[in-house]
Structure 1
Amino acid sequence: MILTASFERRLPFGAAFSDSGTTFRFWALAHAEVRLEIRDRDPVLMERDAQGWFSKTIEAPAGARYRFHLPDGLSVPDPASRFQDGDIHGWSIVIDPARYDWKTADWKGRPWHEAVVYELHVGCFGGFNGVAEALPLLAELGITAIELMPIADFPGARNWGYDGVLPYAPDAAYGSPEELKSLIDQAHELGVMMILDVVYNHFGPDGNYIPAAAPEFFREDLHTPWGGAIDFRLPEVRSYFTENVLYWLEEYRFDGLRLDAVHAISEQDWIDETAAAVRASENGRHLHLILENEFNQQSHLAGEVDAQWNDDFHHVFHVLLTGEREGYYEDFVEDTAGKLARTLQDGFVYQGDPSPHQNGKPRGTPSDHLPPTAFVSFLQNHDQIGNRAFGDRLTTLAPPEGVEAATAALLLSPHIPMIFMGEEVASETPFLFFTDHEPELAEAVRNGRRKEFAKFAAFAGAEIPDPNAVTTFENSIPEPHSERAEARTALFRKLLAIRAAKITPGIPGCRSAGADVVGEKAVVSRWTMGDGAKLTLAINLADSRVPLPSLEGTVLFESPIGAADAARSGSLPGFSTVALLEPAA
């Protein structure tokens, strides 16, 4: 029997649909009056309370188009719009969340230690329906969690998603709310979690109408790279974003959220407050919160937050495989093998150590007490590829054997692994920065991008791809490598099968048992698994063999073939990874 149900997060603002009348609530502290516009009707005066909340309950069916009309003549979309007609500057749409019947209403999710995350850009897959079509192959590969780059309504038809201005509205370029719910439903039928990347540290440069209604939403005394900081000191602001978290988790049944650049949120206690609200709402479900925090702060990870993206892991592997030294990579040039050992052992490399890239300023906090599951590790992601001038993937920068050895280390370590779309087919297609802005803003973004890379020697005199050109987006859609795709997919499938069968069951309670440098680009890292077994990874990212002390355990994996026998004989071949598991005594 298929259990069906509908889910709704009853928001304290926006448009709350009911058969007996839709209630509209809008915060416009700066104004004495606001009128509600329903398309094809006369505007209606809303009622104001002392806190600047305007409300009105009227008959408005699902599908009705509405806006809020300010005294200066400006009509603005609902900041809590559930869907838009006419992009970010158009009409908001009244949505009835109960219209979608969930087939997986009894889905409770999966525990975090089972996560193998696959990050993707919805537009590159052709929208929500295109992602749904790809689900069976990804599930068969061994992926257990899909992470969508931000989908909140952004200007135009193509964008990374970090220019969103309506955080409650899925962008219509990707599909309807019902199509997004269907995608999540289908993923759950396959046993795959769905995670959404959300942005709470800023709004995009086009279409943010909140300052026109409530300028108090933003601070004048504190600025971020995107303008005045969002004022998380105000209860109305805190509620706006906390409700957004609960909305995606409850109404859309996402299994988790990844919060972008939380280091740019001034009131860090909001993160813990919201995490506590999520835990209070779980009701038997496995819900997961992941942070991006370039400051390597562990405080939230000691509380109710599951994990944090570990850029240090990426940077170490990238320097070892490519030899790059510019920008933040300069922090990983000295004693790189030692830093590799530390990231495998402790998660963060920088735990209060002075950062050369930041002129010797300390970076990070101690992380050796945290479990491996507190770290989402990766060899590639949208930032590390797309923030390069030409969107170069690791496949174009490093030898294939080195990438395969690093992939084995990533997928067989007890850290939570994340794969970026296309890695599993050895794609060499770039992932470029792309937008769809109006001409004036497009020119500003284009010039800013060129200026950003002018200081890098590698890009001097080169023509940076135009972010606003349609071809820039089209060229970013991953394509399988003509020669290596099949073998690379087989490698991912094999590694993830080994992980699921031999490593994942022992991850709860797993702790590092130390890591040793055995060569200029080689380490041996050990973990005591929760069941008492001993996991060992021997990794050599140099192109030549290194001496190796004796290793114990049954061979789980070796790359290339023969690497395990060589390791038992006292040396580890170039570009190799060997994984061994010694049963509990």
Structure 2
Amino acid sequence: MTFLFGPKLDDTSTQFRLWAPSAGAVEVLFPEGPPLALKKDDAGFWFGRADNRGPGTRYKFRTDALEFPDPASRQQEGGTTGWSVVCAPFEPSGRREPLRPWHETILCEVHVGTVSPEGTFAGLTERLEHFRDAGFTALEIMPINEFPGNRNWGYDGTLIFAPDSAYGPREDLRRLVDRAHDLGLCLILDVVYNHFGKFNNFIERYAPEWFDEGVETPWGKGIDFTQDMVRQFYYENACMWLEEFDFDGLRFDSVHEMKTEARDVFLSDLAKSCRAVKSDAKLIIENMDNIASWLDREQNQPKDFTAQWNDDIHHVLHYLATGDGKNGYSDGSRNPIADLEKGLADGFVHDGEAEGESDGTTRGEPASRLPPDAFVSYMQNHDQIGNRADSKRLPDRVSAEKLDFLHLSIMLAPQIPLFFMGEEAHLRTPFPFFIDLPEDAAEPMRADRCRQMRESFGEDVEDGALPDPNGPHTFESAKLNWGDYGNPDRRAALDRFRILAEWRRARLWPLVATPCLDARSGRQGTAIVVSWIFEAGTLSMALNPSDLPADIACIITASPLSTGEFSQQDEVLRLGAWSAVVW
């Protein structure tokens, strides 16, 4: 791809470029020496060349009285208001494909700032062997783009080409990816293309064309994807992570919040741009609208996106395990056992049951035509933990037998499993929302967070009742305590997790490497049995997500793996409370 944004280097000079169609004049500022006046082309780009300004050059842009960093800055000095730094691109690895095929993916979602005591790329690099040895084959890294301050979930970024300096230099990020590949781990990066953070977002002040005044998102004005250069900006960003940093894939945050016209053009071309770099790039979307067509296959290969985070399976399993009646289960009218059966067999629970706009419980298009690996299943992720008022993980809320049931159900169904860092050992570290802003900016964010918890997540909280998101102690509470892995109960849980991961490798991978021909299911009372039929053979799972035993007509036909109690009585399978069997 020909890059239009960011500095362009040659042997003796650097060309600076900024898209600002309505600006009257633009200059490049340097810490020393005169500014460089830029010229404007017909596409709205301002450009100019500076001699003897190579890698390491610090610069900003200025239009009128506004000084601001390059929105395509590859490195920042001094945070989101500081100097942008000219960087020579890394040499591409030459790999045109991800390290592993998609069907071999066992995901762990990781936040760089809290996964290690150091909270850096180097700190995570030193702990990669733990994740490999636990059974994971890929890490999904929460957003690392430059954000205000030193603490953030990552979704408030304003400079999306620059790895955040709080995590270490960009060279350490490339070393992290290279070391992961040495260990057989893929890395997938979470990127945010639906909004910019509210704080230090200079773009709306010098390039209002970037936004559509008539479209509102939870974070403000919507990105205007009808603008060719706006779309190009994000294509370039995606390609940079895949090529220059050698990530194996990307996860695209909340694509349902992309609401301007040309959204579909953007998403389609975004996938094409990524696949031009790595044809089998692991491209994951978060999409509350459950639009199955984005996940369609051609000759058993993804046409656009590889898979979608599947909230549906989380919601029904979460309700069954906790009794927490949110996410469509508040009125008691739904049958959660039937929903779990449908989610396991088809992927989505809510997939075209109603016409017109989604109301949050019925959505999208039929999903039964999709293979199981078009869905990423999970019981915990950053949202499901951090968007609770208490930020507690499941081990603080459900029994060990339920946790083992949930792990087996997620790990050994043929959908792609995802776990949140520490979940492999039932760690209890909370993951509250945290930021690092000046106090005058933090105060409205505190109030907004309480409002969001009430209105968006159904949490009954009063203003001021949440952990202070701007407090360093809140961030520190989210850091994994690696000493907890030495606890006997945590070690035992990790051992059980490894057994599940090994069973998936040995028994599922040969099946899911071939096309899925059908999924057949049945239920009796609280018992469910699902069989997925692949070209290479059949995978079956029987489950009883209930406090009481249940019987179902079913015969185990191969050596099984199980959690909880079960017994075969002629053609009847008796499942104990919170038991599951897979064969």
1:501-520 superposed Cα distances (whole Å, 9 cap, x missing partner): 11011103124431222333
Asked if the contact 1:292–1:309 (Cα under 8 Å) also holds between the matched residues in 2, the reply is: yes
What are the within-5 Å matches in structure 2 for residues 11-50 of structure 1? 11-50=3-42
Equivalent residue for 1:498?
Answer: 503
- After superposition, residues 320-335 of structure 1 pair within 5 angstroms as 320-330=320-330, 334-335=334-335
Residue 575 (str. 1) matches residue 565 (str. 2): no
Residues 224 and 264, structure 1, Cα contact 8 Å, conserved in 2 = yes
For residues 301-340 of structure 1, the aligned pairs below 5 Å read 301-302=295-296, 303-330=303-330, 334-340=334-340
- Counterpart of 2:178 in structure 1 is 185
Counterpart in the other structure of 1:518: 524
Shift of 1:165: 0.5
Q: How does 1:221-236 map to 2 (within 5 A)?
A: 221-236=214-229
Which residue, out of 487, 490, 494, partners 1:489? 494
In the TM superposition, what are the counterparts of 1:432-443 in structure 2 within 5 Å? Answer: 432-443=432-443
Cα distance in 2, alignment partners of residues 449 and 502 from structure 1: 44
1:551 maps to amino acid: I
Residues 61-80 of structure 1 mapped to structure 2, 5 A cutoff: 61-70=54-63, 72-80=64-72
CA–CA separation in structure 2 for the residues paired with 1:397 and 1:75: 49
Q: 1:60 corresponds to which letter in structure 2? A: R
How many angstroms apart in 1 are the aligned matches of 2:76 and 2:570?
59
Shift of 1:399: 1.2
- Partners of 1:96 and 1:28 in 2: CA distance: 24
Query: How many angstroms does 1:469 deviate by?
Result: 0.8
Q: Which amino acid aligns with 1:517?
A: R
* Residues 372 and 516, structure 2, Cα contact 8 Å, conserved in 1: yes
Tell me, what secondary structure is at the counterpart of 2:560?
A: strand
Measured after TM superposition, the shift of residue 576 of structure 1 is 1.1
Residue 529 of structure 1 is matched in structure 2 by 534
Contact kept, 8 Å, 1:395 with 1:403, in 2: the verdict is yes
State how far apart, in whole Å, the 2-side matches of 1:291 and 1:279 are. Answer: 15
Q: Deviations over 1:227-251 (max 9, x none)?
A: 1111100101010011111111111
| 1:278 equivalent in alignment to 2:282 | no
Change (3 A) 1:475 1:154: same
Q: CA deviation at 1:555?
A: 2.4
Superposed CA offset, 1:242-269 (max 9, x none): 1111111111111000000001112122
Q: Alpha-carbon deviations, 1:273-320, whole Å to 9, x = none?
A: 1112222333xx631111000111112111321100000010011000
Q: Distance in 1 between matches of 2:8 and 2:328?
A: 46
Code of the aligned partner of 2:551? P
Q: Is the 8 A contact 2:432 2:478 kept in 1?
A: yes
- 2:195 aligns with one of 186, 197, 202: 202
Match of 1:539 in 2: 543
Deviation at 1:179, TM superposition (A): 0.3
Shift of 1:431: 0.9
Task: Identify which range, 87-96 or 562-571, moves more after superposition.
Answer: 562-571
The aligned residue for residue 415 of structure 2 is: 415
> Structure 2: which 5+ residue stretches go unaligned?
297-302
What is the rounded CA distance, in whole Å, between the counterparts of 1:567 and 1:120 in structure 2? 46
CA distance in 1, matches of 2:5, 2:464: 49
For 1:566 and 1:128, the matched residues in 2 are separated by 54
Residue 287 of structure 1 corresponds to: 281
User: Aligned with 1:404: secondary structure?
Assistant: helix
Distance 2:534 2:59 in 1: 56
How far, CA to CA, are the matches of 2:449 and 2:120 in structure 1? 27
Identity %: 39
What one-letter code is carried by the residue in structure 2 that aligns with 1:367? A
C-alpha distance in 2 between matches for 1:242 and 1:342: 36
In 1, Cα distance between equivalents of 2:454 and 2:381: 23
Q: 1:152 touches 1:168 (CA, 8 Å); kept in 2?
A: yes
Alpha-carbon shift at residue 61 of structure 1 (Å): 2.1
Does 1:148 find its partner at 2:177? no
Secondary structure at the residue paired with 1:467? coil
Mark the CA change 1:566 to 1:247 in structure 2 (over 3 Å): closer, same or farther: farther
Give the TM-score normalised by the residue count of structure 1. Answer: 0.92
Contact kept in structure 2, 1:154 and 1:163, CA below 8 Å: yes
Distance 2:573 2:217 in 1: 53
Residue 471 of structure 1 and its aligned partner are, at CA, apart by 0.9
Does the aligned pair in 2 maintain the 1:332–1:339 contact within 8 Å? no
Residue 299 of structure 2 aligns with which residue? none
In structure 2, what is the Cα distance between the partners aligned to 1:461 and 1:74? Answer: 35
1:4 corresponds to = none
Using the alignment, how far apart are the partners of 1:360 and 1:133 within structure 2?
41
Shift in alpha-carbon separation, 1:213–1:141, aligned structure 2, 3 A: same
SS in 2 for 1:268: helix
Give secondary structure in 2 for the equivalent of 1:122.
Answer: coil
For the structure 1 residues 487 and 376, does the alpha-carbon distance in structure 2 shift closer, same or farther, using more than 3 Å as the test? same
User: Matched residue of 1:363: which SS?
Assistant: coil
1:375 matched to 2:363: no
Per-residue displacement from partner, 1:175-231 (whole Å, max 9, x unpaired)?
111000000000111111110000000000111111222111111122212111111
**2:144 maps to 1:123:** no
Between stretches 176-185 and 421-430, larger displacement belongs to 421-430
Shift of 1:43: 0.6
Q: What's the counterpart of residue 300 of structure 2?
A: none
Note the residue ranges of structure 1 that are not aligned, 5 or more in a row. 1-8, 581-585
Tell me if structure 2 keeps the 8 A contact 1:290–1:306: yes
Distance 2:265 2:342 in 1: 29
Write the deviation string for residues 433-457 of structure 1: whole angstroms up to 9, x where unpaired: 1111111221111112223445757
